[in-house]
Amino acid sequence: MLEMKVFRESPEKIFEDLEKRNLPKDIALTVIELDNKWRKLIEEGNNLRAKRNSISKNIGELKKKGQDFSGVLKEMAILKKQLNQNETDTEIALKLRDSKRMVVPNILVNEVPVGDDENGNAEISTYGTINRKKEWLSHQDILERINGADLKRASKIAGRRFYFLTGDLARLELALVNFAVETLCEKGYSLTTPPFLMNREAYEGVVDLSDFEEVMYKIDEHDLYLIATSEHPITARFKNEIIELKEGPLKYAGISTNFRKEVGAHGISDRGIWRVHQFTKVEQVIFCKPEDSEKMHEEILNNAIHIFERLEIPFRVIDICTGDIGTVAARKYDIEAWMPSTNKWKEVVSASNCKSYQSVRLNMRYRTNEGTNFPHTLNSTAVATTRALAAILENHQTEDGDVIIPKALRKWMGNQETIKSK
Interface pick for RNA out of 24, 60, 188, 248 (rule CB under 7 A): 60
Q: What is the DSSP letter of 65?
A: H
Pairwise CA distance, residues 330 & 356, whole Å: 9
369 phi and psi angles, rounded to 5 deg: -60, -25
Interface pick for RNA out of 6, 23, 29, 42 (rule CB under 7 A): 42
162-181 mask for RNA (x: CB under 7 A)?
Answer: --------------------
Least Cβ distance, residue 72 to RNA (angstroms): 8
Which residue's CB is nearer to RNA, number 190 or number 372? Answer: 372
How is 21-37 classified by DSSP, letter by letter? Answer: TT--THHHHHHHHHHHH
Segment contacting RNA by CB under 7 A, of 138-146, 179-187, 239-247, 325-333: 239-247
Which residue's CB is nearer to RNA, number 22 or number 372? Answer: 372
Contact 196, 257 (CB under 8 A): yes
Least Cβ distance, residue 60 to RNA (angstroms): 3
**What CA–CA distances, in Å, run from 107 to 296, 320, 332, 353?**
18, 14, 12, 11
152 phi and psi angles, rounded to 5 deg: -60, -50
Amino acid found at 132? R
Contacts of range 264-273, beta carbons closer than 8 Å, 24 or more positions apart: 264/214, 269/342, 269/344, 269/346, 270/161, 271/138, 271/140, 272/138, 272/139, 272/140, 272/143, 272/149, 272/151, 272/390, 273/139, 273/140, 273/143, 273/149, 273/151, 273/163, 273/165, 273/386, 273/389, 273/390
Which residue's CB is nearer to RNA, number 243 or number 404? Answer: 243
Which residue's CB is nearer to RNA, number 58 or number 131? Answer: 58
Which residue's CB is nearer to RNA, number 3 or number 270? Answer: 3
Q: Which of 115, 134, 35, 99 is nearest to 324 (CA)?
A: 115
Interface pick for RNA out of 10, 12, 15, 56 (rule CB under 7 A): 56
- Centroid of chain to Cα 184: 19
Which residue's CB is nearer to RNA, number 192 or number 342? Answer: 192
Least Cβ distance, residue 370 to RNA (angstroms): 8
Which secondary structure element, helix H or strand E, spans residue 259, and what is its range? strand 250-259
92 binds RNA, rule: CB under 7 A: no
Interface pick for RNA out of 6, 20, 29, 45 (rule CB under 7 A): 45
9 binds RNA, rule: CB under 7 A: no
96 binds RNA, rule: CB under 7 A: no
Segment contacting RNA by CB under 7 A, of 47-55, 120-128, 175-183, 376-384: 47-55
47 binds RNA, rule: CB under 7 A: yes
Which residue's CB is nearer to RNA, number 71 or number 267? Answer: 71
Interface pick for RNA out of 129, 210, 369, 415 (rule CB under 7 A): 369
Task: For the segment 338-367, give every residue that binds RNA (CB under 7 A).
Answer: 365, 367
59 binds RNA, rule: CB under 7 A: yes
Overall residue count recorded for the chain in this entry? 422
85 binds RNA, rule: CB under 7 A: no
29 binds RNA, rule: CB under 7 A: no
Interface pick for RNA out of 23, 29, 32, 55 (rule CB under 7 A): 55
Contact 404, 421 (CB under 8 A): no
For the CA atoms of 49, 51, 54, 55, the dihedral, rounded to the nearest 10 degrees, stands at -110
Which residue's CB is nearer to RNA, number 65 or number 133? Answer: 65
Pairwise CA distance, residues 91 & 294, whole Å: 37
Catalog residues that contact RNA under the rule CB under 7 A: 4, 39, 42-43, 45-47, 49-50, 52-57, 59-60, 63, 73, 76, 80, 241-242, 244, 365, 367, 369, 371-372
